[in-house]
């Protein structure tokens, strides 16, 4: 009998890559998604498989799955600042009510559950690089609060189910991850820059571009998540690539990669945009034997090829 895994957010960027990984590992995969920011295109290759099933469902409402479950991965949530600003209440609900529903399901099914937390729990961090011990610097009533606080609540609820109900839980704090299947117009910096380069538009750097991020390639991220789920460690673990870069330097890298003649234009920095972000991954190294393997140069090349292969209508589809 194959082990059975439920993956929420399955039609999204990370969720679809996780479905691929679990299918490859020989699991029966149940993907669940309400398609609010995801697309069936990301999992259409899995649909014909005997050991993949798709359930169209909003996990902020009661979640029912028949049969046993061994693992639950709760990855449903809008993830780009533009998305969660457009649908703030749904974002709060999927992090809170959705997490509660899935923890209840995990308890009934005696399944182990991992939640997709985020570096955003550290807010605009005053400690650098960020270790798991840092409590963060989050503005609860700022524009990003709907996402950050939902994720912080999600962690608290998960730990409560672990402590009080004995549910086996894992918490991954994901740092900026990129790769094929990101939505070209989701507003995140990598698809934004590559989309602009492909359309022949100038690259929009917000603020003076001195803010930093550390970008992790999706295959590395998925491997870290898989290892954490299979480990016996219930405390939060950062998974990300510590290779830190300013957003200005990143724009220059994209200009070089795409060979575009476009230049950089500066736009106002969104409120509460974190000024620096870099994961400390000592725990992931020590506990999971994990560290990223794919360099930014390599990962960006693969991702650029993916975006180039998309049909023109996707490239010019305006969402915001
Ligand atoms: P994504 O937008 O591509 O995927 C999210 C998926 O969740 C979408 O398919 C969406 O339709 C689905 N979804 C949203 N609300 C739902 C609901 N109520 N019920 C059912 N499905 C719902 O985003 P992503 O980048 O793949 O992010 C996946 C998860 O990882 C999110 O929880 C996000 O917070 C977390 N995360 C991602 C990153 C990153 O860099 N990609 C960083 C930190 C955390
Ligand atoms: N950013 C930018 N231009 C864009 C989109 C984003 O300069 O067109 C900046 C944004 O202000 C932030 C960084 O890039 O400082 C990363 O933004 P993203 O939305 O990808 O992720 P997050 O802020 O959640 O890390």
Pairing of the two strands 177-178 and 216-217: parallel
Task: State the residue for tokens 């469902």.
Answer: 57
pLDDT at 23 over 60: yes
What per-residue confidence (pLDDT) applies to 311?
Answer: 87
Q: Does the active-site annotation cover 266?
A: no
Confidence of residue 319 (pLDDT cuts 50, 70, 90): low
Nearest CA to ligand 2 atom 10: 206
230-262 tens-digit pLDDT = 999 999 999 999 999 999 999 999 999 999 999
Among residues 109, 99, 229, the alpha carbon closest in space to that of 169 is found at 229
Confidence of residue 285 (pLDDT cuts 50, 70, 90): very high
> Can you tell me whether residue 26 is helix, strand or coil?
coil
Q: What is the mean pLDDT of residues 93-107?
A: 98
Residues of the chain with CATH 3.90.25.10: 189-213+243-277+294-319
- Assessment of whether the complete model's pTM goes beyond 0.80: yes
User: What integer best gives the mean pLDDT of the chain?
Assistant: 97
What spacing in Å lies between the alpha carbon of 33 and ligand 1's midpoint? 9
Looking at the DSSP bridge assignments, the partners of residue 114 are 73, 170
Q: Does the C-beta of 236 come closer than 6 Å to ligand 1? A: no
Which class would CATH give 189-213+243-277+294-319? alpha beta
141-182 tens-digit pLDDT = 999 999 999 999 999 999 999 999 999 999 999 999 999 999
pLDDT at 317 over 80: no
Cα distance between residue 243 and residue 217, in whole Å: 11
Residues of the chain with CATH 3.40.50.720: 4-178+216-239
Q: Does the C-beta of 217 come closer than 6 Å to ligand 1? A: no
114-132 tens-digit pLDDT = 999 999 999 999 999 999 9
What per-residue confidence (pLDDT) applies to 320?
Answer: 55
Q: Does the C-beta of 9 come closer than 6 Å to ligand 1? A: yes
pLDDT at 137 over 60: yes
Among residues 301, 316, 310, the alpha carbon closest in space to that of 253 is found at 301
Work out the number of other CB atoms within 10 angstroms of the CB of residue 315. Answer: 15
Considering the four listed CATH numbers 3.20.20.140, 1.10.3720.10, 3.40.50.720, 3.90.79.10, the one that applies to the domain covering 4-178+216-239 is 3.40.50.720
């Amino acid at each position: 009998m194959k082990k059975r895994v439920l993956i929420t957010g399955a039609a999204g960027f990370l969720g679809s890559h996780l479905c691929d990984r679990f299918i490859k590992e020989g699991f029966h995969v149940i993907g669940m998604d309400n398609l609010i920011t995801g697309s069936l295109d990301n999992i259409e290759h899995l649909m014909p498989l005997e050991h993949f099933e798709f359930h169209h469902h909003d996990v902020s409402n009661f979640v029912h799955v028949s049969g046993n479950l061994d693992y639950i991965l709760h990855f449903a949530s809008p993830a780009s600042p533009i998305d969660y600003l457009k649908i703030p209440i749904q974002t709060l609900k999927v992090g809170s009510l959705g997490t509660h529903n899935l923890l209840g399901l995990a308890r009934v099914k005696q399944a182990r559950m991992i939640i997709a937390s985020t570096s955003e729990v550290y807010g605009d961090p005053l400690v650098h690089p960020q270790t798991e011990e840092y409590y963060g610097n989050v503005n609860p009533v700022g524009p990003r609060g709907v996402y950050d606080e939902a994720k912080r609540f999600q962690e608290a609820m998960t730990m409560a189910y672990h402590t009080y109900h004995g549910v086996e839980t894992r918490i991954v704090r994901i740092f900026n991850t990129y790769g094929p299947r990101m939505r070209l117009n989701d507003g995140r910096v990598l698809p934004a820059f590559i989309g602009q380069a492909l359309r022949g538009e100038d690259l929009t750097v917000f603020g003076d571009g001195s803010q930093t991020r550390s970008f992790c390639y999706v295959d590395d991220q998925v491997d870290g998540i898989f290892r954490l789920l299979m480990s016996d460690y219930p405390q939060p673990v950062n998974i990300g690539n510590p290779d830190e870069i300013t957003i200005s330097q990143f724009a220059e890298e994209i200009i070089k990669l795409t060979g575009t003649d476009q230049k950089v234009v500066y736009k106002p920095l969104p409120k509460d945009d974190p000024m620096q972000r870099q994961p400390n991954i000592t725990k992931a190294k020590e506990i999971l034997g994990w560290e990223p393997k794919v360099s930014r140069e390599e990962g960006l090349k693969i991702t650029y090829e993916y975006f180039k292969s998309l049909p023109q209508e996707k490239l010019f589809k305006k969402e915001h």
